[in-house]
Amino acid sequence: MHPRNIYRQTPDFRQLAVSYPPLKHFLQPHPNCIDFQDEEAQRCVTEALLHRDFDLEVQLPRNRLCPPVPNRLNYILWIQDIVRACEVVAGEQAVVGVDIGTGASAIYPLLGCRLEPSWSFVVTELDDLSESHAQKNVRANNLSDRVRIMKATATGPILIPLSDPSQNFYFTMCNPPFYSSTEDVVRSSEAKEFGPSAVCTGATVEMITEGGESAFVRRIVEESLVFGTRCKWYTSMLGKLSSVGEVVESLKANSIENYALTEFVQGQTRRWAVGWSFTRIRLPDTASRVSNPNPLIQRYLPPHNTIRQPAKTDTKALQDVLLGISGAAIESRSSHFLVKTIGNTWSRSARRKQLRQMELEGENGVPEIIMICSLAVTREYVEFQWVQGKTRSLFESFCSHVSRKITSSR
First to last CA, the chain: 41
In three-state secondary structure terms, 182 is: helix
Distance CA 171, CA 221 (A): 13
Q: Are 307 and 383 within 8 A, CB to CB? A: yes
Cβ proximity to ligand SAH, 178 vs 259, nearer residue: 178
Please report how close the Cβ of residue 216 comes to ligand SAH at its closest, in angstroms. Answer: 7
Please report how close the Cβ of residue 175 comes to ligand SAH at its closest, in angstroms. Answer: 4
Nearest residue (beta carbon) to ligand SAH: 101
Cβ proximity to ligand SAH, 49 vs 205, nearer residue: 205
Residues 263 to 282: which contact ligand SAH by CB under 6 A? Answer: none
- Taking CB under 6 A as the criterion, the residue among 49, 83, 158, 217 binding ligand SAH is 158
Please report how close the Cβ of residue 207 comes to ligand SAH at its closest, in angstroms. Answer: 7
- Per-position DSSP letters for 317-338, written without gaps between them: HHHHHHHTSTT-EEEE-SS-EE
Residues 93 to 152: which contact ligand SAH by CB under 6 A? Answer: 100-103, 105, 107-108, 124-127, 130, 152
User: 302: which DSSP letter?
Assistant: P
Cβ proximity to ligand SAH, 185 vs 318, nearer residue: 185
Cβ proximity to ligand SAH, 47 vs 359, nearer residue: 47
Cβ proximity to ligand SAH, 103 vs 343, nearer residue: 103
Summary count for the chain: helices (H), strands (E): 14, 12
Cβ proximity to ligand SAH, 113 vs 328, nearer residue: 113
Please report how close the Cβ of residue 153 comes to ligand SAH at its closest, in angstroms. Answer: 7
Cβ proximity to ligand SAH, 175 vs 309, nearer residue: 175
Q: Are 401 and 347 within 8 A, CB to CB? A: yes
Q: If binding means CB under 6 A, how many residues of this protein chain bind ligand SAH?
A: 22
Please report how close the Cβ of residue 69 comes to ligand SAH at its closest, in angstroms. Answer: 10
Cβ proximity to ligand SAH, 120 vs 319, nearer residue: 120
Does residue 205 touch ligand SAH according to CB under 6 A?
yes
The radius of gyration of the chain's CA atoms, rounded to the nearest angstrom, is 23
Please report how close the Cβ of residue 174 comes to ligand SAH at its closest, in angstroms. Answer: 8
Amino acid identity of residue 169, one-letter, is: F
Please report how close the Cβ of residue 114 comes to ligand SAH at its closest, in angstroms. Answer: 16
CA distances from residue 259 to 119, 155, 250, 279, 300 in whole angstroms, order as listed: 23, 28, 12, 10, 10
- Taking CB under 6 A as the criterion, the residue among 42, 74, 209, 277 binding ligand SAH is 209
Cβ proximity to ligand SAH, 146 vs 282, nearer residue: 146
The tally of CA atoms less than 13 A away on the side-chain side of residue 186 is 3
* CA-closest candidate to residue 116, choices 77, 174, 160, 153: 77
3-state helix, strand, coil in the chain (%, to 5): 40, 20, 40
- Per-residue x/- track, 38-77, ligand SAH (CB under 6 A): ---------------------------x-x----x-----
Cβ proximity to ligand SAH, 103 vs 302, nearer residue: 103
Does residue 220 touch ligand SAH according to CB under 6 A?
no
Please report how close the Cβ of residue 234 comes to ligand SAH at its closest, in angstroms. Answer: 15
Phi, psi of 70 (to 5 degrees): -55, -40
- Per-residue x/- track, 341-360, ligand SAH (CB under 6 A): --------------------
Distance CA 262, CA 289 (A): 5
14 Cβ contact list (under 8 Å, min separation 6): 27, 31, 32
Q: Is 225 exposed, middle or buried (0-12, 13-18, 19+ CB in 10 A)?
A: exposed
Which residue ranges make up the site for ligand SAH (CB under 6 A)? 65, 67, 72, 100-103, 105, 107-108, 124-127, 130, 152, 158, 175, 177, 205-206, 209
